[in-house]
Amino acid sequence: MESVLGRYRNLIILVGVLFLQVLGLATQVKRGGNDPENTRLIRVWAVDAITPFERVLVWAQNGTGNIWHNYFYLRGVRAENRQLKDQIEQMRLEQVRLSEDAAQARRLQSLVAFKEQFISRTVAAQVIGSSGSDLSRTIYIDKGESAGIKRDMAVMTADGIVGKVLVAYASVSQVLLISDQSSGVGALLEKTRLQGVLRGTANGEVVLERVMSDEQVPVGETVLTSGGDQIFPKGLPIGIVTKVGNGKDLFLNIKVKPAADLSKLEEVLVLVENKERQATAEENVHIRASDILAQRLPSVPDKPAEASPAAGTTSGTAEGSTKPAVAKPAIKPAGAASTSTPAAKTPSGANSVPGAPASGISAKPAEGTSAGTPVATSAPKKSSPAAGTTAPDPKSGPSSTAPASAPPKPAQPSTPPDSSQPPAGESSPQ
Amino acid sequence: MPITYTSGEQVEVYRFSIPVTIGVPLLALFVQAFIPLRFPRFAVYFDLPLLVTIFFAMARRNPIAGLFTGAAIGLAQDMLGHNPIGLYGIAKTVVGYGASSLGVKLDVENAGARFLVTLAFYLIHSAVYFTVARGLVNMTQNWSWLHGILAGLANAFLGVVLFFLLDKFKQRT
């Protein structure tokens, strides 16, 4: 007997070790399948051993990157700054339109006692590690229970959702990505309003399941969260449909490209507080498009002189100055107004400071007056999403065709030369 | 540690210092978890903990040491993921045992032998993982020969380079 044990000692030990591990696996499967919370005490050792090094390395890497980007690599920053300012201008206009829509929606929701969900608090976290295996698509972030993070909290970036918190340790958390095959997210197609379940596959792809095969789903349609999973609030972007095919059991097989780049995550937001409240119409927070535009765009003089090519652009002088401004080209894009010249040179330059009215422009025109005419002298770019909502035809305003060298006009309220023309984009009269 | 003989040829048995025994597997786990943040395909094709398991098992030429090394590294790798603990543990236990048993019988010091051994053990590791994951845990797994062979070749290339570097830490018994 002893000789047999001695002879097969290695094999017996191998079988014993394998048996123990199989037993452990079976216990885990019986207790709760893939739930890592059941083995938290064991996992915490490995996490504590690895994540401090990852945290230090990420910190050092970011520090080096910051020194490089903040001090050495500043090429093109000026141009980029100009471009971003243009973008801000366009987004402000878009924001005005959206806030009007939102206010209208709130009014309607309050009428039917609708309860809305909103994200009240998020925690920004840095991605410091991954599972290191394509069979477990998880990442580690540098915030844990000490930052208020708990299990099943939604994780997202500005582009779209990323996943949910699987395990929250003291100072780190493990996040299950939406591309993992064990994840599931309630999803909704933006235009067709079809609902389904978003799942990851073994290959790391993301598919939308449970959409009946007799439905029409166009490629390119945006997929949003439906809120049905009680983890992600409704309406967060998930991605876009890239391929639609027939799947199993009368359902479509819809492939989705996540909006957030799951392979290059650096910083994420964890939704730590998500409240539900009764929708109320907030009457006092309305900002009309005309108010914003009046603050941002040059005014038009009361009496556009024939000699003035651009009343809007030449009416302003530096505050207190009595000298006439130098004649400038009349038409200037709204975006460009923010980019360069200070108020002393051109009135439109004053618009580069958001919220700071240019001299000679009333901060808030009276109702009925509109920014429609001023816009005529500074039509936004065609590509601007707000273009259709804020910019009337440049030809409609007299200032766009007015000749040059108009005398300067001191500060006074802007009045539309042609008050019969309503400002485009004024969708909600107060 | 005894010096074993194979076909009349002396095969040396090596040992490693404690810092190397602990530090190298930990470093492999750390790198395996960190690099995919910058290069996402790394985790799809490379398995550094597996290469370290094969190296230690072949250098020690002791099946029991090999299987325990494989079990420890595999279980640690399992702990970093979210799948049940033991999937990598079982697969790497088998690889550790096999690599050290092979190391007793064959000279696996040259680059060609290392390349082939690593390729073979990568496939064995994948097969064991696939079997356990599907059979015991009921996970959805897709087997792809193309991916298996490509990843095996990639690991074999990396293994040859890595083993050459790790040879510096070997201590003769």
Nearest to B96 by CA among B130, B73, B129, B123: B73
Contact A184, A261 (CB under 8 A): no
Res. B121 pLDDT band, cuts 50 70 90: very high
Would residue A384 be called left, alpha or beta, if left means φ above 0 and alpha means ψ between -120 and 50 degrees? beta
Give the C-alpha separation, B173 to B168, whole Å: 15
Do residues A306 and A316 both lie within one domain?
yes
Average pLDDT over residues B54-70: 92
CATH code for the domain of A207 = 2.40.10.340
Q: Is residue A344 a part of any domain in this protein?
A: yes
Average pLDDT over residues A279-292: 58
Q: Is residue A426 a part of any domain in this protein?
A: yes
Contacts of A25 in chain B (CB under 8 A): 84-87, 90, 132, 136-137
Contacts of A358 (CB under 8 A, 6+ apart): A298, A299, A316, A343, A347, A348, A349, A350, A351
- pLDDT value of residue A224: 92
**Which of B29, B31, B73, B82 to probe by mutation at the A interface, max A CB count within 10 Å?**
B82
Q: Is residue A61 a part of any domain in this protein?
A: no
Res. A100 pLDDT band, cuts 50 70 90: confident
pTM of the predicted model over 0.90: no
- pLDDT value of residue A321: 41
In this complex, the residue of A17, A54, A136 whose CB is nearest that of residue B81 is A136
Q: Which of residues 113-142 of A touch B (CB under 8 A)?
A: 127-136, 138-140
Average pLDDT over residues A359-373: 37
Q: Is the pLDDT of residue B155 over 70?
A: yes
**Which residue would you say has higher pLDDT here, A412 or A147?**
A147
Do residues A120 and A268 both lie within one domain?
yes
Q: Is the pLDDT of residue A337 over 70?
A: no
Q: How many domains are contained in chain A?
A: 2
Contact A384, A96 (CB under 8 A): no
Q: Is residue A2 a part of any domain in this protein?
A: no
In this complex, the residue of A24, A176, A203 whose CB is nearest that of residue B85 is A24
Do residues A322 and A268 both lie within one domain?
no
Average pLDDT over residues A394-413: 40
Domain containing A374 equals 75-114+286-430
CB contact under 8 A, B82 and A57: no
How far apart are the two ends of chain A, measured CA to CA in Å? Answer: 97
Residue A240, Cβ neighbours under 10 Å: how many?
Answer: 17
Joined tokens for residue A314: 């030449």
Do residues A301 and A383 both lie within one domain?
yes
- pLDDT value of residue A292: 58
Query: Highest mean pLDDT: which of A74-78, A388-392, A406-410, B54-58?
Result: B54-58
The whole-angstrom distance between B109's CA and the closest CA on chain A is: 23
Contacts of B163 (CB under 8 A, 6+ apart): B51, B55, B114
- pLDDT value of residue A256: 94
Domain-ending residue, one of A278, A303, A329: A278
Do residues A122 and A257 both lie within one domain?
yes
- pLDDT value of residue A118: 66
Amino acid at A17: V
Q: Is residue A25 a part of any domain in this protein?
A: no
As a whole number, the mean pLDDT across chain A is 70
Contacts of B26 in chain A (CB under 8 A): 49-50
- pLDDT value of residue A62: 81
Do residues A325 and A343 both lie within one domain?
yes
Contacts of A139 in chain B (CB under 8 A): 37
pLDDT in tens, A135-177: 889 999 999 999 999 999 999 998 899 999 999 998 899 999 9
Do residues A219 and A177 both lie within one domain?
yes
Torsion of CA A135, A137, A143, A145, to 10 degrees: -70
In this complex, the residue of A21, A36, A174 whose CB is nearest that of residue B90 is A21
Whether ipTM > 0.95 holds is: no
Instruction: Find where tokens 């019988």 sit.
Output: B105
Res. A412 pLDDT band, cuts 50 70 90: very low
Do residues A106 and A120 both lie within one domain?
no
Question: Over pLDDT 70: what percentage of chain B?
Answer: 93
Do residues A183 and A247 both lie within one domain?
yes
Helices (H) and strands (E) in chain B, counts: 7, 4
Average pLDDT over residues A220-238: 89
Res. A299 pLDDT band, cuts 50 70 90: low
Do residues A240 and A332 both lie within one domain?
no
Residue of B nearest to A22 (CA): B86
The whole-angstrom distance between A129's CA and the closest CA on chain B is: 5
- pLDDT value of residue A214: 84
The whole-angstrom distance between A225's CA and the closest CA on chain B is: 24
pLDDT in tens, A57-89: 888 888 887 777 777 777 778 888 899 999 998
Contacts of A182 (CB under 8 A, 6+ apart): A34, A176, A200, B82
Q: Is residue A320 a part of any domain in this protein?
A: yes
pLDDT in tens, A5-41: 777 888 999 999 999 999 998 888 887 766 777 777 7
Do residues A303 and A383 both lie within one domain?
yes
- pLDDT value of residue A163: 94
Contacts of A130 (CB under 8 A, 6+ apart): A138, A139, A140, B33, B34, B36, B37, B43
Domain-ending residue, one of A244, A278, A312: A278
Q: Is residue A53 a part of any domain in this protein?
A: no
**Which residue would you say has higher pLDDT here, A193 or A357?**
A193
Q: Is residue A210 a part of any domain in this protein?
A: yes
**Which of A11, A12, A13, A18 to probe by mutation at the B interface, max B CB count within 10 Å?**
A18
The whole-angstrom distance between A264's CA and the closest CA on chain B is: 6
Residue of A nearest to B27 (CA): A50
Do residues A300 and A384 both lie within one domain?
yes
Residue of B nearest to A138 (CA): B81
Domain-ending residue, one of A253, A278, A303: A278
User: Residue A173's beta-bridge partner residues?
Assistant: A141, A168
Contacts of A17 in chain B (CB under 8 A): 67-68, 71, 93
- pLDDT value of residue B64: 93
Res. A403 pLDDT band, cuts 50 70 90: very low
